[in-house]
Structure 1
Amino acid sequence: MLQAWYIDTQNGECLEQKKMAPKYISAEELYNKTGVEYFKLNVETYKTDGILDSIKKERGYSYEDEMVCSEKCLSIDEFEEKKRSFATEHLHSDEEIRFLLEGAGYFDVRDSVDHWIRIKICAGDLIILPGGIYHRFEFDSNKHIKMKRLFSEEPAWQAYNRPADAMPCRQRYMERIARGFAAAN
């Protein structure tokens, strides 16, 4: 089940860390405010139940890989560098599709008025971030993830740190957000 909520935009702390009740939002609200799509898959049956295959076919994803990132599989320096790069606010020109197989973490995305929304992802969660959306990722306290990454073609993956407002993908994203994601599709 989706867990997404607004985080304090003044200092980046989660409202729950400040002992304030977070303002949770539904998957539909998340999509309407950001264009982020959420799916829940079964990690035990996804290879045979056809749900992931259907998503891949519908969206034209023909390339995939798996990434494991944890303190246990990387050197301390490598892990700290990954952590820093994930936590830096950035965008990509293409969709970012992640299906979490193990572990948990947080994707933070910006809404239409630049407020942060935190999305907790756990094993079985698949999220699709639209190209041009500013986002970042943080590990949970276990500092371990294994995820499947999906692409429409072999990736030439490039992150563009904020500010990148002049990029065509960002401008297309802002046009879609202005029209509303349901209307833009």
Structure 2
Amino acid sequence: MVQAWYMDESTDDPRMPHRVQPDRPVGLEQLRTLGVLYWKLDADKYENDPELEKIRKDRNYSWMDIITICKDALPNYEEKIKMFFEEHLHLDEEIRYILEGSGYFDVRDKEDKWIRISMEKGDMITLPAGIYHRFTLDEKNYVKAMRLFVGEPVWTPYNRPADHFDARVQYVRFLEGRA
């Protein structure tokens, strides 16, 4: 099962867990209140997984690719890692399914505090449009992930501040219970 927790304020190596002390774990229900959805799937059968196909159909995920993030496989690795870890939002939801390796997605809670979500093989997560987030590898420095999208892919990150976008306005309304 996925693990999530509140982060400390340290600016040290982002690949470390950065758990606040005392530890403040975050459960799936709290993540759901932020619009973050989670599934545990069998990554060894992702090519023919009826459960993944059902999720894709139910959520209209029509586009898919696979990205490998490690020094040997990703062009401009250092630049991309820095870009992924820059706090940003997207105008569409972001879907990632971890096929191998591991990493962290960080999301902001309702009080603008960071929550770190530890992702490993078999974890699939959906981040809603308009949520501020970032991604980093963990100490293993390797992840292979499926990227899913509704319609054609748009990978444009809008770095914070990006509060003027309609997706952000709608997300804030959702957090306030007005969506």
CA apart distance, 1:20? 2.7
CA apart distance, 1:142? 1.6
- The 1:16–1:95 alpha-carbon spacing in structure 2 relative to 1, beyond 3 Å, is closer
Seq. identity, %? 45
**Pairing 1:7-86 to 2, within 5 Å after superposition:** 7-8=7-8, 10-11=9-10, 20-32=21-33, 34-74=34-74, 78-86=76-84
Instruction: State the partner residue of 2:3.
Output: 3
Partners of 1:44 and 1:16 lie apart in 2 by 26
Q: Which amino acid aligns with 1:170?
A: R
Map Cα deviations across residues 131-159 of structure 1 (whole Å, 9 max, x no partner).
00000111111211111000011112210
Structure 1 residues without counterparts, runs of 5 or longer: none
What TM-score, normalized by structure 2, do the two folds share?
A: 0.91
Q: Which amino acid aligns with 1:4?
A: A
CA apart distance, 1:19? 8.0
- The 1:20–1:132 alpha-carbon spacing in structure 2 relative to 1, beyond 3 Å, is same
Map Cα deviations across residues 8-37 of structure 1 (whole Å, 9 max, x no partner).
2x44579965783421121111111x1111
Structure 2 residues without counterparts, runs of 5 or longer: none
- The 1:54–1:18 alpha-carbon spacing in structure 2 relative to 1, beyond 3 Å, is closer
Instruction: State the partner residue of 2:154.
Output: 156
**Pairing 1:35-184 to 2, within 5 Å after superposition:** 35-74=35-74, 78-179=76-177
What TM-score, normalized by structure 1, do the two folds share?
A: 0.89
Report the count of equivalent residues: 177
RMSD: 2.0
Partners of 1:101 and 1:118 lie apart in 2 by 19
CA apart distance, 1:44? 1.6
